Amino acid sequence: MKILLCIVLLLVVLTLFAVWPGKRRDALRAPFLGRNCAHRGFFGKEQRPPENSLPAFRAAAEAGYGVELDIQLSRDGQVVVFHDDTLDRVCGVHGRVDEFTFEELRGMRLCGTQETIPLLTEVFEVMGGRTPMIIELKTGRRNDELCEKGLALMRAYNGPYCIESFDPRIVRWFRKNAKDVLRGQLSDCLLYTSPSPRD
């Protein structure tokens, strides 16, 4: 009976440990509270400016919105900002983002405009630390490389940011290697709408 009681008690303790919230991180959360975020930038139904473009991110910052964006690696290891895993919907090119070099990606156009796929560093320059950024790391074949390179770029950015991912391995990587970075585990695809007076 004592063994059974000890096992139950141990299971209760382990369960509480697993779900107990971490240290309060109010200072890290503060820039995001009460703030609307433009998913993939500030764009309208007509994709003018197109989603994930520098003008869309600039428009979000100028309108006072935070932004949510997605990062992944090009074939040659550049950290690019692009939402979909494949290029079909936005660029009209068949293939995965990570199958192309950054030079090849730069030659593609977003939604039939002259805008191109930006680097994360270019988005940081446009944002200029004016507004918070939610950075989603996409699952890929080189998760650790994306985490390492993405974190190095984020550390050089002079503005508030947090990370999120659908991949628990990426969130765990940040928990282990960058405990000071606010992070979130995505568990379901949410419907985001980009606030836009252009609609």
The catalytic residue positions are 39, 83
Distance from C-alpha of 96 to C-alpha of 15, rounded to nearest angstrom = 39
Helices (H), the chain: 2-19, 26-29, 54-62, 88-91, 102-106, 120-127, 143-155, 168-177
Distance from C-alpha of 13 to C-alpha of 153, rounded to nearest angstrom = 38
- Nearest-5° Cα angle at 30, 134 to 19: 75
- Running DSSP on this structure, what letter comes out for residue 71? E
Phi then psi dihedrals of residue 165, to 5 deg: -165, 150
Q: Compute the CA torsion angle 21, 26, 29, 33 (nearest 10 deg).
A: 110
Amino acid at 92: G
Distance from C-alpha of 152 to C-alpha of 145, rounded to nearest angstrom = 11
